[in-house]
Every structure is written in structure tokens, then in C-alpha cells.
Structure 1
Amino acid sequence: MIRPYRTWWIAALCAASAVLILDRMFPLPAPGRDSPYAVVVVARDGTPLRAFPDKDHVWRHPVALNEVSPLYLEALTAYEDRAFWWHPGVNPFALVRAGWQWLVHGKVVSGGSTITMQVARIIDPTPRTVHGKLRQILRALQLELHHSKADILTLYVNYAPMGGVLEGVEAASRAYLGKPSNRLTHAEAALLTVLPQMPSLLRPDRFPQRAQVARDKVLRRMQGRWSAPAVADALSEPVYAQSLREPMLAPLLAQRLKRSERRQNRIGTTIDVQAQSTVEALLIDRARMLPPRVSLAAMVMDNATAEVLAYAGSADFTDRDRFSHVDMVRAARSPGSTLKPFLYAFALDEGLIHSESLLSDTPQSFSGYQPGNFQQAFNGPVSVSEALVKSLNVPAVEVLDQLGSARFVAMLRRGGLKLDFPRGAEPSLSVILGGAAARLDDMVGAYAAFARKGMAVTPRFIPSASRQEQRMMSEGAAFIVRDILETGGPLGRAVEGQGAYQGIAWKTGTSFGFRDAWAVGVSSRYSVGVWVGRPDGTPNPGFFGANVAAPLLVDIFNAFPDGRSLNPEPVPAGVSQEKICWPLGMRVAEGDAHLCPVQRTAWIFGGTTPPTFADRVRNGGPVLAYYVDRRSGLRVMPDCATAGFDRRETARWPSSLEPWLEPALRKRVLPPPWAPECAGAYRPDGGIKIVGLSDGEIIRRAPGKANPRANLEIRGSRAELMWMLNGHLIGRQRGTEVQTVEFPTAGRYDITAFDDFGQFDRISVSVMAGN
């Protein structure tokens, strides 16, 4: 015979087994399985930047309980389910009361649903029938079996219907009230508490009077829990809600992060709302002055943290005519001249130059590559500082030729700036003028090196991203290049002072064909990059970095209270100012005065003063020895001198620069004219002269005929001469021999001939297409 207590144990065991079996047979639907959270991307303060709805176009902003106002949680549990914290998922007293009201009134007066039951209906929708209510009760018990009270309340807070396409208290608070749910007032907490009861009929943006009546019912219920003055103030507050609109700040960054940060419903970013709004407003304002289909992009990064504060991938996300959906922050485009600061910094680190090294801005050929300047003019002798400030192309190519194209690209990559080349292409000298592609976000991270003692960074878009920094250049090189970009270097500071843009060091760039206009710059606090152009690559004649990108860059820096660096940066160890000489490049104190015709104040790094680059055309040492007649002072050679003579020395200028020297300087630094007694062998008529074409002559090309040619000779020298065409060495001939010059295309041709004694002649001719 089975004893009674054993019967109860067996019955309990069977019941428990049945519950477990049913629980396994009918598992709880995973919360959000069929309708997952919308992805919301938020700023650093939690403000939504952009929300991506689910497949049903429902917006949900996931939020934890500790991120919701306690007033809302208190009102929710007091009004909706007073026994929430102790019942097992179902409140039998509430169910009995609801059933009795139904029998008495013949209709449903109160549903008797607990918060747990409402969550059960959210995750497993059931019809409003007796069978549906029974299923809802069973699901509620199942929920309590698997989840804590806090978990259940969290599900309600995130999934409760709030009217229209909104679900969850955070989405409703942001959409209706324009604030996060942790800042709700008493009146607002009561409003959002009652809203799920009839979300379509109580929407505060459409039915404010109806919503206020329902809200006041909650407030009166809270009397005794909230202070009387707080309830009175809340009751006097009118219901107001803004119209529903999708948040749309930094939309392209949000889209970028949605793709990269998968399996996250809430993506936090480093974006500062005020900074983002300011930058977007500046871009929209500037876009109004630009032709159709021209877009803009800009990015602002904090140098100390590498956090991106503002990210605008297009001019106006609502303007599809301007390719609003194309993110130009991450598009690979030709950077034009924006790589030049890195080139000069690397050359400083390699001991190739100092800030005032002599460079040649003249027509030159580098193994067949003949760069020209944007202004289609040349400046002759220039310093590194002048070449960088004026963004001269030929001097940059001259320095890159010394450093090496492949090495330059590798050094950029080492610092985190990877260039994209066309398929099968290798680094060449054209890379410094935009012959490769770069991305704006990478460029901003690399430019930060000039403000971070040579350390480039990888921009951080989310707070959890690890900080990555790479040594791009030395601290000394970063300081010198930044000083040049900001003030023009020692000479620029002495002549012009700090200038109108004190505290900002930037560089512009324009790609071939006016397709891309860039401006990238730094202050002590921020690094900023700007791009202007058409995303489809169509040229914009007349658009270049200095006139369309740089003004926007300056406006962005000025928009930040601490955007400029008003205090000068301290000079790092190893950097000093020294007087140097042209043309040799050495310190003034290290050479003889007669070998130092021009003095410059330069930034010296590492205590070294690199010499001027060796002459690319003419052989020989940096110092020229010659002889002069003691009586006349004219130049002679020992074998033709008829009287006493003295030996003299002068510093040799690069041969490509001699024709560009100022007349007074040329007279001072070049050897004097030849004496008559030596004229027969070296200079019979007092100088050399190109014959066969006249300076300024126009040559016409006949259609269908061979390229025009000219046979040129030299009068005045029998020594070996070098012939250059547009800076390219085309031949070495003795003065008595003929040099043939061919003109393959229409245009201007500069022809120069010179010998080892400093004699030269130069003419320019124009070739025009014939009719």
C-alpha cells in the first residue's frame, strides 16, 4: 500500500516532469528572434546618429535598466503591475478581478495581465481569446522559470509598443521627447508608462489631449509614492511631442559601422554631436555655392585620443544629385600634392636636406619624366621651405629622386598610410604629384604625426577600438615640416610673422585634371581633412585645393573654440637654427666667405648640414677653380695667359640654375669674361651663342609631315658643351659640331647650351600646328 505522503511526492515529481517535458517541447521563442532590434548608431553622449529599422521598419533603441529613469520604472511597476516583484508571472487576484468585471459588465474592463504576461504576448503573439489568454499565462510562467525579474523588465522596456514604428522606452523618448530615457520628468515618465496600453490612440504627436488624459490617470495613481508638489507640477504640464523623424547625423559613418560591427544592436561611436552638426552645416552651406553633382567630405580627429569627432562622407545626405550615398571619406582618390610634407620629413630624417637646402625649380628631366608646376612657371633657385610652401613640383621630384620612390611608399606604409596603385603599376616619381590613390581617413591619421611628435595614428570611430599609433617620422622632422607649413619656416616667420592662420599647419592638393581638391591640416588639438570633387571622377576645371578645399578647412578649425594652436610648439631636442650657405649648403662658419655668396637661416636637424645635391648634368666638384689675369681681372688659362695670373675659387651652382640667377648675383658668383688672348681657344667673341634658331622664333608643323627639326651650332667655344631641351639632357657635342633638335609636338621649347667654364646661352621657341 502506497502511503499518502509518497503519493504527493509522486504527483509532484510527475507534475515537474510534465512541466520540463512541455518546456522542452514548446521552448520559449528567443526574444527578438523574428523581429530583431533595429540597429542604432549613437554618438559619444548616447544621442542617436542613425537608426536602421528591422524588416518590419520598426525602430528599437536597446537600453539597459540602469540607463532608464527610475521615475519611469517606478511608474511602470506601480501602474501596470504592483505585484511584479513577487508573483510567479501571473497574478491570480488580478485575473479573478478581471474575470468578475467581465461577467458583470459584459466586456473586458481590465485584462489582468502582468508585465510578464505582456512580455509573453510580445515574444509569442496570441489572439485575444480565452485560449490565447491561457497560452499567454503558460508562457508567462515559462518566462519566470528561465529569466530573472530584471531580465523580464528589460525585455518590456525594450519591446513595449509605443505607437507607429516605435518600440521600447528609449526609442519613444528619443522620437517624441528628443531626449534619452534617463532624463525623463515625472510627467514624461507617466506618459510613456501608459502609452503601450493603446499605442495607436495615445500617440502624443497625433492625439495630445487623449494622451494627457491617460497620463494624468497614471500621475494620480502615483500620489503617495511621489511627492504632492511633484505630482501637481506634472499634472499642470501640457503634453507635447515632436513629429517622428528618423535621426540622421553622420549617416555614412553609421552605415559604415553597421557593416563592420555586425551582431550589435547598439553601436557607440566617438562622434561629438555638436562637432558633427557644425561640420555638416558648413558642408551644406558650402555646397550651395558649388555646381551640381559636386560633393564634399570632411573628417575631424582629436590628436590626443585619435577619436573621430566629426565625419561627413558627402555634402548633403538628402541631396542625391550630389551622390549623397557615396562615402568620400573612405574613397581612394588621387591626393595631388598632399604627400609632399611627408617627403620632406623623410628626407630630413635621412640626412638629405635641411629646411633651406638649395633646390632647382627649373625645367628638368628625370629619366624621361618631366614634371611641371601648377602655375606653368618656374622660380629658379628655391629652398625646401619655399618649395613646400609654394607646392612646387620639380623640387619635390628632385628630392624624391634622391630618396627613391619605392622607399618613400614603403615609409608611408610603415606609418599607416597605404597608397593604392593601378593594377600592375609600381611606385614611380609621379607618386609625389598624385600618381597613386589615398583615402581621406588614412590621410588625416597620417597628418596627425605632424602634431604628435612624429607618431601617426589610426582614426578611432568606436570607443572600444584599440589605439594604434605608428612612427611616421622623427619628432624633429615633424616639428620642422609643421613649422614650415604654418609659418613658412625661419625666413617666413621673420618676414611675415605668424600670419593670418596662426596655429594651423596645412597642405592642399589637386589631382590631375581637377578631379580632386584636397586640404589636410593640423593644430595641436585636431587633425582635419577636406575633399571636394565629383565622386564619379568628372573633372571640375578651376577647382583646386587652395580655392575650394582650404577655405572650408580653415572654417572648420575656426568653428572649434580650441581649434587653433596659439602657443608656439617648443623646439625639440636635436633641432636648431643655423646660418647656411648657398649654393654649397654648408654652415656659414664651416666655409670660406667667398664660397658663401648667399646666406640663409635654416632649421638643422641632428646637427648635420647636408650638402646641396650633386649636379645631375655637369660633372665636377662643388668648387670651381679658375685663373684671372692680375692686371685686367679677366679670365685666362695658364697656357694662353701672356702675363701673371692668380688662381681663384668659386662655389659652383647647379648647372640648371645658372641661367636663372639674378644678373647681380651671376656677376658676383660666376667667373669673369675671358681675356682676349684666350678668346681663340675658348671665347672668341666674348660669349657663346646658339645659332640656327632665334630666341622667340615660331615654327609651324605642316600637317602630315615629319616632325620639324633644327640644326643648331655654337659660336664662341670649342670646348665640349651640353645641350638641354626643356631641362632634359639631349646631347654632348664639341662647340664645332652640329646638334640636331626635334620638336615632336606643338608647344614651347626651352633650349639651353653650356660648357664646363660657366658659359651658357638659352633660347625659347614655339611650335604651332600648321593650317
Structure 2
Amino acid sequence: MKRHWAKLAAIGGGTAAALVLALDLAFPLPRMARPDPGPGQSTLVVLAADGTPLRAWASEDGALRHPVTLAEVSPLYLQALLNYEDRAFRWHPGVNPKALARAAWQWARHGHIVSGGSTLTMQVARIVDPGVQGKSVGAKLRQILRALQLELHLSKDEILTLYLNQAPMGGMIEGVEMASRAYLGKPAKDLSHAEAALLTAMPQSPSRLRPDRAAARAQAARDKVLDRMQTRGVWDAATVKDAKLERVFAPPLRAQWLAPLAAERLRQQRRPDEDALIRTTIDAGLQMRLEQVLADRIGVLPVKVSIAALIVENEHAEIRAYAGSVDFGDASRAAHVDMVRGLRSPGSTLKPFLYAMALDQGLIHSESLLIDAPQNFGGYAPGNFQADFSGPVSVSEALQRSLNVPAVDVLERLGPARFAARLRTAGLRLRLPQDAQPNLSLILGGGSTNLEELVGAYTAFARRGIAVRPRLRESEPLVETPLVSEGAAFIVREILENGGRPGAPFRESEQRIAWKTGTSFGFRDAWAVGVTDRYTIGIWMGRPDGTPNPGHFGANSAAPLMKDIAATLGPQQLAPRRVPATVKAVPVCWPLGLAENLTAPAECLQHRLAWTLDGSTPPTLPDRLSGTGLIDVAWVDRQGRRTRPDCAAASVEPERVEFARWPTLVQPWIEPDERSPVERLAWSGDCAPRTATQGLRIVGLEPGSVLRPAPGHRQVELALQAVGAQQGLSWLLNGQAVGGVGANGGGPLKLTLARAGSQSLTALDGRGRYAQVKFSVQMPSAP
């Protein structure tokens, strides 16, 4: 209060002071004249990590403001403002007597107001109190009184700060910082001489001098300020000449929004008592590059298809780029639906976690033998995306090729409930239909999750097995959860990135990315997730309404986009890759799966080099269809032929020989020279062998047949039947599924063959028995 009375005395003695004080009490300052105008009066602005505005929402009075302090504004702007508008600002009491006298003389001479004699304080009075606006003498007097009142209550710096934050800058924009960001794309602290002059001139006529609509008029007004600065000796002639070379131009304001759905998300989460400036972890430059990559894809997207993309920095779990839709302005693609958080089927993107958990449980190593063949898991009979089967495959191959049947096989042994619980603990929740329990379909996309949770879990492959919850705000805590062991994370990442081949050299100088795709049932969702040392990148592509997008799947749509985004990130290698102490490369043998030094030479039918965890080389998973293990028994007579103990014609006391056999379901894919030498022995003529084909045969095609089209045709048509099938039947042509029938296997198979060359047709029943016919097709020469 003493300071106020001192100011009153300076204004004009006791009588004047008493009058001003009375008026001050009768007409208090408007709300907007306070340094902190209170909630609802500040623009809500969501910022990138470097302070770049991503998106802003108008305050209750419809203005867009970005509050700043004097220290956050370029000194060039303050120079231009004070020297152009009010050189006496620092010493006058709110009004400039000299300027007012000049304005009064001009009014008396011309009969109307020529110049208002306004000080910056008087301009602030007009800004904070619309009731004192106008050019009449009465309005001018009210401005003077408000200016004196402002000087009574506020310091010079506080008054100047009010101007910086509320000066009209065209349309809804107020204040130098918001104008600088909106029109110039930079903070006000980085203004050049030309830009400082432009923003000084704009409040003179904000609607006429907007650089996005009237660039020529704005440039002329800017040059007037530059000339004044030179005339008054503030800036030299060379500086002003260079400044005038800068062309005034600003793009449409809406085009400058960045990460609009991320900003909207934070706006919805904001509490009413929180600050109006929300700083995010988003990298503005990276966000712009991401949005440009997505914009380049719009022209080739089918109708109503959108894209969501997320880039998370691994070390601190910070979201660096966020695109909830492909184009925020395209309503036909449901642009306002944030698919970073949309719940969708993840397809095959969960398979890396399955194999990592199986490694930790000691069920597999990287080259464990898995079975890619038709199987029935208690009524659930999955197939592969390409509808073909390869027989024996390794864990590395099954994961790289995203084979479905081996993954379901491993999940059944691990347990779907355990799998889902482990993911949930690490932040990746699989939503199931009401009252449903985790089942084998989970690994093929039988639950729902979102892109954010999926990316957070994938960071574990770059963070020594520790998953994170992605952070969009700097103030959010870092939430880390162990998901798999460091060794399991390393092995799975090597499989996805380098093929899982321990002998292959690390590509330290190249862009390394471990990636996995996924496609949900009916082509509704296409996914790709990639992990580098520095970032984890996630892509979702599809229709937000959940309708199919035929022909688009993870590998052909999402993966190329993910790689293009990764290419914009620059070098990703943070340090030379090191193999964890728990991981070793060990030679192993198929079909048993054990370490080579633990396998008899005769039982090592195929050599492999595997990544193993904690020194363990677990054996091949038990054969589901055989009551025995993979060590089988044969009897050999004295002539070196196979026989059976129960054969009446067997030689006296045949020798009992143990040998390694392949799992029952992969037998159709195993060539004779890949089998144990014991299995290749001829049988004694009087002792019929008990083979996998016993009781099952193919009717309608003889082995070794050469088939040709009928005259005038370009294809071969066949009608075949399998006799003796039990527990279902699958037909495979060159490993690709071509049909299946019921439990009795009695239905016919109709084949149309249009490709010349060797062919292999296999009938495989539910008991693992098979019949196989090899033949060839010849096509007539073109006329």
C-alpha cells in the first residue's frame, strides 16, 4: 500500500492522489489486468519437449495465448516495441504529457483526433478493458484513467508482460509468443530483426496485417518499423537492409498442428487446477518427419483406411512421435479416432514374447525342433497364413516365418493363462470376451490390445528384458517391469534381427532393426513393430470401424512403412552389441535337440548351432502322437536286415538296436537319407514292416505317375480318395494344404494341377499316419 501512495504522489499531489484512489476503489481493474488472470483465461497449449506448440485450445474468451516472461522474449523484439511504440515507457506514470499535448493540439487544429498519444500502458488498458476502446475524447479519458490505475497496481515489467501476452495479433491469436509460433514457427526468443519488426507492427491493425492472409501489407508495415529503428539509431543501416530482404510469408495456421490426437488426449486428462501449458516428451522434428512419411502414404491407401504410429525412446520410455490417425483432417478415415489407444487384435505380434518365455522356462533353445504340420489341439486346428506346412522347423525359423502351428504347440506347453498373466504384469493386457478365459487362440490374435501397450512391451528386447509404460509427459513416472530375462530378450532379438544364427557377424555399422509383423483375422488389422537400440517403432494399419481391408497384411503394408520411418531416425547403434553372460552358442543335434557333446554320433542326424540360455539345451518337445520318446528300438537279424521279435520267420536272437527317429508328424517331410541308418535297412522278406502308412493309402494315383492334360486342355484334373484315415485327414500338395475332410476321411479330393514338374501329395491323419505319392506333371508345349 505504501508503494501505491508513493505512485499517487508522483502522479500529482494529494488531491489528485485521493481522486485516483477513489476511482480505483469504485472501478477495480478487470480480471485480465492481473498478472495471473486465473483459470479459463489462459490458452491451453500442449508443447513438444523443446517448447514447440503442438496444439492449442482457446481460452474462455476465445483467444489463443501462450504466456511468456520478459526473459523468454528476444531482446530485439523488446527493442523494436519500446522504440517504435513508447520510448518514454520506463519513466512516464502511464501517460506521456508531451504526446498528449501534441494529440490535443492536432485535435484542436483538425477538429478530430489525428494521433492518440497512447502509451504502451494505455494500449494495455484498451486490451484488458474493452469498455475504454474508441477514438472519442471520453474514451481517451477513460483510457488515461485505466492507464494510471495500471501503473498504481503493477510494475513496469508486469505491464509490459501483459502487453507481450495479450496484444492482438490477428484472429484468435494474442501475444508475441503465440504469434511467433503460429506465423513464424519459432519461439519469440529466437526472432530475427525482421521478425521482431513484423510482430511489433501487427497490433496496429491485426486483421489487416496477418502474414498468412495479407503478406504484402504485413511486409510494408514491417519495413516502416525497420525504417523507424534506423532513423532513431537503434539498428544500423546494414542490419535494416538485410532485414528487409526477408520475405514475409506464413502458411495457414491449422496446417501447423503437430500430434493433434496426442494433444487432445492430454487435454482430456488435464485436471482443472493444472497449468495451462502441458509439456510433452514429443520431439517436434521427429513428429514432423513421421507425419510427412504418413502423408506420403495417403494416396495409396484404400478408402476409410487409417494408420497409427508410435515411436518410443527406449532408455527413458518417452514417446517421441505420436500419430493416432493418418490425417487428422480427413473425416472419411475417422481421423479423430485415436488408434494408438484403440483395442484391436494383435495378430502374430505376440509370438516373440511366447518364445522368450519358453526360453526362460527351459522348454526350448533357438534351434529346438518344432513341428509345422496339421495338428489338432483339443478341437482347435490352426493353419498358417500361407496355408502351407514345412514339417520340421527350428524355433528361429518358426518365429521368423511367423508360423502358427508351432506357436500354438509351444503355447499349450507353456500355458495360455501363464502367458497372458506375464504380459499383463508388464503392462500388455489382453482383453477377452466377457467370461472368456485365456486359450490357445491368444497367440494368433485371440485377445485385444492397443499399439501403446504393444510398443511398451517390445521395448523389453532393447532393455535387457525390462518392459516399460510409454510416457507422454515429462512429469509421468518411469514404470519398468521385468518381462523376460536379459538372455531371452537377446536371443529373440537376434532371431528377429539377424536370423538367430550365432555364426553370423554382428552388423555394427548398419541400421539394425528387429521387427515382427502381425495380421488379424479377416485382414482387419495390419501391424509391424521394430526395435532398434535407441527407439521402438509401432505401426497399426486398418479401418477404425473394424471392417476388413482385404489384401493388406503386416508384411506387405505395415512393415515397409515401419522401415521407412526407421530410415528417418538416423543412426541407431548406441554401443557394440555384447552377448550376455547367460547366453552361449552351442552345437546341437536334430532330432533329439540335445547338445552335440551329449548325443551319440549315430543319433545326430542333423547338426545345428543354437543360442542357449543358462547352459541348458532342452530336448525336443515330447511327441504328442507317440507313446515313446524319440529314441526308438529296432531288431536286426544276422543278415543285417530289420525284423521284429514277434515275426515267426525272424532269425534266432535278433540284435536290439536303439536309434533316433523324427517326431511322428514330420515323417512325411523326411527324406530317406535324412533318417537313421537303422531305419534305412531293408526288411526281412518274411516280416512285414509296421510303417506310418500302415492302414492308410491313397486311391486314384500311382507312385511315379506322369500326368498330362487331356487334349485341348491346359491343366490336369484328379479325383482322389484316402482309405483308412482315422481322427480326421489333411491333404498336402508340396507341403501346402489343399483340403481336409471329417473324422472318417471318406470324402474325395478334387485337384486341378496347372504347374509342370515334380509333385508330392500327402494324406496325413489325426494319428500321425501318412500316405505319400510322388508324381510329375507335363504340360504341352505352347503352339
Q: Does 1:108 align with 2:117?
A: no
- 1:385–1:210 CA distance, 2 compared to 1 (3 A): closer
- Quick one: distance in 2 between partners of 1:165 and 1:752? 73
Deviation at 1:336, TM superposition (A): 0.7
Query: Is 2:341 aligned against 1:330?
Result: yes
Q: Within 5 Å, give how 1:654-669 maps onto structure 2.
A: 654-666=663-675, 668=677
Instruction: State the alpha-carbon separation in 1 of the partners of residues 218 and 638 from structure 2.
Output: 113
Q: Which residue of 2 aligns with 1:637?
A: 645
Q: How does 1:17-32 map to 2 (within 5 A)?
A: 19=21, 23=25, 26=28, 28-30=30-32
Stretch deviating more after TM superposition (198-207 or 377-386): 198-207
What letter corresponds to residue 169 of structure 2 in structure 1? M
**Cα contact 1:711–1:741 (8 A) shared by 2:** no
State the Cα deviation string for residues 266-321 of structure 1 (Å, max 9, x = none). 33333334322332222222232232222222222222333333222222333333
* Partner in structure 2 of residue 405 of structure 1: 416
- Determine which of 170, 176, 187 is the counterpart of 1:169: 176
* 1:412-448 residue CA offsets vs partner (Å, 9 max, x unmatched): 1222222222233221111110111221222222212
Is 1:182 aligned to residue 198 of structure 2? no
| Equivalent position SS for 1:690 | coil
Partners of 2:453 and 2:743 in 1: how far apart?
49
Q: Is the 8 A contact 1:694 1:763 kept in 2?
A: no
CA distance in 2 between counterparts of 1:360 and 1:237 reads 72
Amino acid corresponding to residue 321 of structure 2 in structure 1: A
1:661 Cα deviation from its structure 2 partner: 2.0
Matched, 1:38 2:43: yes
Q: Which one of the candidate residues 60, 63, 70 is aligned to 1:65?
A: 70
Counterpart residue type for residue 226 of structure 1: V
* Distance in 2, Cα, partners of 1:80 & 1:335: 61
Equivalent in the alignment of 2:289: 278
Alignment partner of 2:228 out of 195, 205, 220: 220
Counterpart in the other structure of 1:733: none
Whole-angstrom CA distance in 2 between matches of 1:254 and 1:301: 16
Q: What's the TM-score once normalised by structure 2's chain length?
A: 0.81
- Give 3-state SS (helix, strand or coil) of 2:578's partner: coil
* Cα distance change on mapping 1:289 and 1:241 into 2, 3 Å: closer
Question: Structure 1 residues 745 and 233, CA, compared in 2 at 3 Å: closer, same or farther?
Answer: farther
Contact 1:364/1:726 (CA < 8 Å) preserved in 2? no
Residues 678, 687 of structure 1: CA spacing in aligned structure 2 closer, same or farther, 3 A cutoff?
A: farther
1:594 is aligned to 2:597:
no
State whether residues 531 and 549 of structure 1, in contact with CA within 8 Å, keep that contact through their aligned partners in structure 2.
Answer: yes
Q: Take 1:568 and 1:695, find their aligned partners in 2: how far apart are those partners?
A: 60
Give the counterpart of 1:546 among 536, 549, 555.
555
Q: Matched residues in 2 for 1:71 and 1:753: separation? A: 83
How many Å separate the matches in 2 of 1:745 and 1:430? 30
Residue 192 of structure 1 corresponds to: 199
Deviates more, 1:74-83 or 1:482-491: 74-83
Partner of 1:707: none
Contact 1:514 1:542 in 2 (8 A): yes
Q: Which runs of 5+ in 1 are unaligned?
A: 1-8, 698-709, 715-722, 729-738, 765-771
SS at match of 1:233: helix
Decide whether aligned partners of structure 1 residues 231 and 52 sit closer, same or farther in structure 2, where only a CA change above 3 A counts: same
Equivalent of 1:578, from 577, 580, 586?
Answer: 586
Change (3 A) 1:377 1:269: same
Aligned residue among 300, 316, 332 for 2:311? 300
Three-state SS of the structure 1 residue aligned to 2:392 is strand
1:628 to 613, 620, 636: 636
Change beyond 3 A, Cα 1:568–1:629: farther
SS of the counterpart of 1:208?
helix
| Cα distance change on mapping 1:725 and 1:182 into 2, 3 Å | same
94 and 746 in structure 1: CA distance in 2 versus 1, 3 angstrom threshold: farther
Q: 2:90 pairs with 85, 89, 96, which one? A: 85
Look up the equivalent residue of 1:581 and give its one-letter code: C
Q: 1:487 to 1:217 in 2, by over 3 A?
A: closer
Aligned: 1:241 with 2:254? no
Percent identical among aligned pairs is 50
Q: Indicate the larger mover: 167-176 or 227-236.
A: 227-236
Task: Please give the alpha-carbon distance, in whole angstroms, between the structure 2 residues aligned to 1:239 and 1:500.
Answer: 43
Taking the aligned partners of 1:236 and 1:99, their CA distance within structure 2 comes to 35
Larger CA deviation: 69-78 vs 336-345: 69-78
Evaluate the alpha carbon distance shift between residue 549 and residue 711 of structure 1 in structure 2; reply closer, same or farther with a 3 A threshold.
Answer: closer
**Aligned with residue 526 of structure 1, among 514, 521, 535:** 535
In 2, the alpha carbon distance for the partners of 1:213 and 1:281 equals: 34
Tell me how far 1:131 sits from its aligned partner. Answer: 4.9
| Distance across 1 between alignment mates of 2:294 and 2:488 | 33
Residue 688 of structure 1 and its aligned partner are, at CA, apart by 5.6
* Distance verdict in 2 for CA 1:615–1:501, change over 3 Å: farther
Gaps of 5+ in 2: 1-8, 703-720, 732-741, 752-761, 774-783
Paired letter, 1:28: P
Compared CA separation, residues 672 and 184, structure 1 to 2 (3 A): same
Bigger Cα displacement from structure 2, 530-539 vs 616-625: 616-625
Cα displacement (A) at 1:201: 4.1
Name the CA shift for 1:399/1:695 in 2 (closer, same or farther; >3 Å): farther
Is the aligned partner of 1:512 residue 2:521? yes
Cα 1:726/1:405, change in 2 over 3 Å = farther
* Further displaced range: 274-283 or 77-86: 77-86
AA at the equivalent of 2:381: Q
Matching residue within 606, 609, 623 for 2:614: 606
The answer for the alignment partner of 2:125 in structure 1 is 120
Say which is worse superposed, 519-528 or 279-288, in terms of deviation: 279-288
CA distance in 2, matches of 1:99, 1:747: 105
Superposition CA RMSD, Å: 3.9
Read off the aligned partner of 1:115 and give its amino acid letter.
L
**Cα 1:284/1:189, change in 2 over 3 Å:** closer
CA shift in 2, pair 1:202/1:550, >3 Å = closer
Query: What's 2:694 paired with?
Result: 689
Partner of 2:426: 415
1:569 is matched with which residue? 577
CA distance, structure 2, for counterparts of residue 750 and residue 500 of structure 1: 49
Counterpart residue identity of residue 744, structure 2: V
- Deviation track 1:538-581 (CA, whole Å, cap 9, x = no partner) reads 21222111111111112222223215x49862111111110112
Residue type at the aligned position of 1:29 = R
Q: Identify the residue that residue 54 of structure 2 maps to in structure 1.
A: 49
> Which residue number in structure 1 is paired with residue 765 of structure 2?
752
CA deviation profile, 1:652-689 (whole Å, cap 9, x unmatched): 4332223332232236364856545555xx75xx8863
1:338 aligns to what SS in structure 2? Answer: coil
Once the two structures are TM-superposed, the CA of residue 69 in structure 1 deviates from its matched residue by 0.7
Q: CA deviation at 1:214?
A: 6.8
Rounded Cα–Cα distance in structure 2 between residues aligned with 1:145 and 1:308:
47
Q: Which residue of 2 aligns with 1:461?
A: 472
Secondary structure of 1:490's aligned partner: coil
SS where residue 130 of structure 2 aligns?
coil
**Aligned partners of 1:642 and 1:677 also within 8 Å:** no
> Does residue 1:366 correspond to 2:377, yes or no?
yes
CA apart distance, 1:407? 1.0
Q: How far 1:151 sits from its partner (Å)? A: 2.8
What SS is found at the alignment partner of 2:45?
strand
Number of residue pairs aligned between Structure 1 and Structure 2: 715
Within the candidate set 265, 269, 274, 1:260 is matched to 269
Match of 1:704 in 2: none
Task: Name the residue aligned to 2:81.
Answer: 76
Counterpart Cα distance in 1 of 2:439 and 2:149: 70
